[in-house]
Structure 1
Amino acid sequence: MIKGSNPDQVQAGREEDSIYVLKQVHASNRCPNPFKVEALALSEKCISSGARRPDNLSGQSSSCWPQITETFEKLAESTKELFRRRLRRTTLVLLVINFTLAFGYYGLFLWFPELFSRIDKYGGSFCDVKTGNDTGSNSSECESPSNEVYIESFLTSISNLPGNILSIFIVEKVGRKPILASSMVLSGLSVFLLAFVQQRWQNVLISCLFGAISVCGFNMLDVLQTELFPTHVRSTAFGMQTGIARIGAILGNVIFGQLVDVNCVIPMLLVASLLTFGGLSSLALPNMTGLDIH
């Protein structure tokens, strides 16, 4: 019997499941001593909150509001801690990086099939935008794109794979922060070049480079977010960072679509500038390579 055990382990009344988890932890630690836990003792706090063993749960009803209130209080406290002096700079810098990376990547990447289709119809670069009225005929607007468009889109999508593999081998040798910064800056440079190339193979090549390089930034960002935040606020930080990234992705997709027909150079420069700015901002983060997380 474990006296004074953490009430969260059995608060839901799942004592058998809690013991099973403890057995797994015991086995993972390869402890030479046999596992002897047969039951869990509820603390006074846990008993007063209404927790029961599974065989006593039938017919029991209790209000969920205390737990909901406690959850929101913990969330508010964790959020406040993220903006206190010790973590404020890290939180703000990572918010900027998440927004700019998601805005730039999804703003451009989701539009690649449409941009390849325009190259297939009209030739030239992404920014040689024409409409059916410009060519004197609307028939081309109703034509299906050639198979090469789908092949090019496939190549651009699969270009993430080399970047993922490369990240595995260089993350410890180069470091998280240098890879994140260089990835975002080089991604921004590749987007800038897309507006000026004229050959079809050049467009495909730079688009693949963009996919391969930018995915390294996403990988390093995930690692840094895990290492830079303490355990007790890490889940809250992840939720906040993911939320701002989703907002950036939505805005990037919408704004790019609105501006691409006005002047293609404008969204290209916007994406390139934001990616570069986010990459340079990452230099303000602490370097966690070789350090233990806490």
Structure 2
Amino acid sequence: MAPVVHGSLDEARAAIARLSRGRTIIPARQRLHVDSVTRGAWRELLKGPALRITVLQIAINFTFAWGYWGLQTWLPTLLQQRGLSLPQSYSFIAISALCMFPGYMVASYLTGKLGRKKVMVTFVGLSAVAGYGFANAQTIDMLHFCNFALAFFSLGAWGVWDTWIAELYSTRLRTIGYSWAALAQRLANIAAPTIIGMLVAQGTSFNVTTTFINLFLVATVLLALFVPETEGKDLD
């Protein structure tokens, strides 16, 4: 055990009191300590229990980012396939973006009640349902409703997932594990718009293109079922 940096004890006590909303008060006579942690190596992500977590989180980050950005990147063009003008498409997207804020807030509230796993699986599952409705909408009103629901649930799920990733690893592997998560997302962010752009250029129908994108959300739900819950558990 190593003491915290000299001179920061008062600040640490104040931070703990503030973050706990006054529920945790550290007496002045009690010293605070942190464990001495060595830096982890990326090879450790592929050994023992960490291997399963690494494979799962990389797969989820890739499929989830594909399902989200594959649609969002080409949404103006896809909406024009359904008869909207370019200005109408951008207005549609701007209004949909407002749904992310209540999505984040509702997901945050429910996570404290139900845990990360239930909220993540439910929100991504409902995103997939909304994506199916979006792909098969027969009216502009239904197209709006499904895309609003898609924005609400997918962004709410992202808020939960970004927190959950970090909790899956021990302290020494947390940063490097998260970096692999970010890498998987970036690879999907490159691949998805490229592949979807090829489908659009080939004249693939709106229904087929959006259904293909939606399959990645379905894959995300199935993968998330195997990730361990961390809500209420002590982190290593």
TM-score range, shorter chain: 0.7 to 0.9
2:113 corresponds to 1:173: yes
| 2: CA distance, partners of 1:164 / 1:236 | 26
Give how far 1:169 is off: 1.0
Q: Confirm or deny: 8 A CA contact 1:117 1:149 kept in the other structure.
A: yes
CA distance in 1, matches of 2:119, 2:149: 15
Task: Spell out, residue by residue over 1:1-52, the C-alpha distance to the aligned partner (whole angstroms, 9 max, x if none).
Answer: xxxx89xxxxxxxxxxxx9x6423443226625x9xxxxxxxxxxxxxxxxx
**1:242 aligns with one of 162, 169, 182:** 182
Whether the 8 Å CA contact 1:116–1:153 is kept in 2: the answer is: no
Cα shift readout 1:232-253 (whole Å, capped 9, x = no counterpart):
1100001011001111122111
In structure 2, which of residues 221, 227, 231 is the aligned counterpart of residue 285 of structure 1?
A: 227
In structure 1, the partner of 2:56 is: 93
Q: Give the conservation status (yes or no) of the 8 Å contact 1:259–1:266.
A: no
**Cα deviations by residue, 1:66-112 (Å, 9 ceiling, x for unpaired):** xxxxxxxx98x621111111211111111111000000000001222
Say yes or no: does 1:145 pair with 2:86.
yes
2:67 to 104, 114, 124: 104
Number of positions where the alignment pairs a residue of Structure 1 with one of Structure 2: 215
Alignment of 1:1-294 (within 5 A): 22-29=6-13, 32=28, 78-121=41-84, 145-146=86-87, 148-260=88-200, 261-294=203-236
* Alignment partner, residue 135 of structure 1: none
- TM-score under structure 2 normalisation? 0.82
Task: Name the amino acid aligned to 2:224.
Answer: S
Contact 1:120/1:149 (<8 A) preserved? no
Which segments of 5 or more consecutive residues in structure 2 lack a partner in the other structure? Answer: 15-26, 32-37
How far 1:155 moved relative to its partner?
1.0
| Structure with bigger RCO (C-alpha 8 Å, 6+ apart) | 2
Instruction: Give yes or no for contact 1:120–1:145 (8 Å, CA) kept in 2.
Output: no
Whichever residue aligns with residue 281 of structure 1, its letter is L
Shift of 1:280: 1.2
Which ranges in structure 1 are unaligned for 5 or more consecutive residues? 7-18, 36-73, 122-143
Q: After TM superposition, which residue ranges in structure 1, 4 or more long, deviate above 6 angstroms?
A: none
**Distance between the aligned counterparts of 1:187 and 1:22, measured in 2?**
48
Backbone CA RMSD of aligned residues = 2.5
3-state SS, counterpart of residue 233 of structure 2 = coil
Largest Rg, 1 or 2: 1
Partner in structure 2 of residue 131 of structure 1: none
Instruction: Pick closer, same or farther for the CA change 1:145–1:272 going to 2, 3 Å.
Output: closer
1:290 partner SS: coil
Q: What code does the residue aligned with 1:266 have?
A: V
- Which amino acid letter does the alignment assign opposite residue 242 of structure 1? A
Q: Does the 8 Å CA contact 2:166/2:177 hold for their aligned counterparts?
A: no
